[in-house]
Amino acid sequence: MQDYIDKMAPMFRPNILEMGEYAPPLEGRSGGYGLHDFNERTTEPHPLVLQRIDDFVRSGKVRVYPEYGRMDAAVAGYAGVAPGQIICTNGSDQAIDVIFRGIAGNGDVAVVPSPSFAMFYQSAGVQGARILAPRYAGPELEYPYEEVYESLEQRPKLVLMCTPNNPTGRAVDKAKAEEIIKEAGRREIAVLIDEAYHEFNPKGTLIDLTAYPNVFVTRTASKALGIASLRAGYAASAPDNIAQLRKIRGPYDVNMAAAAALTSLELPEVRDDIARYAAEVMARSKPVVEEFYRRKGVRFYPSDANFHLVDFNGMPFSARDAYGFLRDERLLIRPRSDPPNTARISIGTMNDTDLFMDKFSKLLARYGQ
């Protein structure tokens, strides 16, 4: 590898050559597995979402460049902000990326409390930004408010808040977050708040803090809306900030099937369906899974999202062992190296939960648990 880096150094930027690829284990997942690894919705989208997509496919306009029409207005209405405060993107991954590209350059500092979503590190790496990574800590792996506040002395360009955080599952405290945002604003430091899982913790949203001119909120349509394959997301911020992000995002980066699906957010039936799905996951499945873990002696971290971080330390098998056994049982979880020997395990409907508990019980029985 070093020979390759030395050879290609005149062509590629050094920070790109030194990076690793973000390559999540996606191939083959849809082939009949129980999907508890990527936190997608476990049921199909509402029929009216699919109808919007089908209407576009049959419109005779697949050959034509995108025309977005009321997409921004539909998303803004759903998010509770003005249309000028929204930019739709190719998944929230792109929303994160265009914010990094607009704000953090080579050698700039980005504060990324860790562990967190892989795209934060990837986007920072592409820009050549230097990452400060205060650790989530304590028995519930909470956001490191004091360390982040103190890091503002180092004049970072961007501070990250992921709420609820992936993979730890905890939401940030709004009052403490606002303290950081205010101080960051005084120092002209941007704050990126990722709310990929906000539908599962709607009362914890910080989107109203986009009233501060240094705040950006990113969200995805991959989870509760259920269109992960179409790649749709958005960012919300002050209108002047959105105008700058539009210079970075390509003019056609949101495909029209995704755009058609996003317009369905204007429909009360679709909004109600999202709320019902989230309620089943959080109010029915989640308590059942947590009681199952307690009964079986499985350690998990408190979560405000549709997943748990499960700790396999002290158990007679590792997270990787669990992954292998459950994969053979046609059920997927996401093992992690940070924190060591843990796995992120999604929560779905009650049907999904019953299947998961059956398979996980077999795993425990194999090791005498």
pLDDT of residue 1: 59
User: Per-residue pLDDT for 296 more than 70?
Assistant: yes
Task: Convert the pLDDT of each residue in 253-290 to its tens digit.
Answer: 999 999 999 999 999 999 999 999 999 999 999 999 99
The confidence score (pLDDT) of residue 180 equals: 98
Residue 11 has pLDDT above 90, yes or no: no
The answer to whether residue 32 scores a pLDDT higher than 80 is no
Q: What value does the mean pLDDT take over residues 103-123?
A: 96
Q: 319, exposed or middle or buried, with CB in 10 Å at 0-12, 13-18, 19+?
A: buried
Q: Is 13 helix (H, G, I), strand (E, B) or coil?
A: coil
Q: Is residue 214 pLDDT above 80, yes or no? A: yes
**Percentage of the chain with pLDDT > 70?**
97
DSSP 131-184: EE-PBPBTTTTB--HHHHHHHGGG--SEEEEESS-TTT-PPPPHHHHHHHHHHH
Are the C-beta atoms of 141 and 170 separated by less than 8 Å?
yes
Q: Quick one: average pLDDT of 290-317? A: 97
What domains appear along the chain, each with residue ranges and CATH number? 2-43+270-366 (3.90.1150.10), 47-266 (3.40.640.10)
Q: Average pLDDT over the chain, rounded to whole?
A: 94
Greater confidence (17 vs 71) lies with 71
Instruction: Determine the residue type at 78.
Output: Y
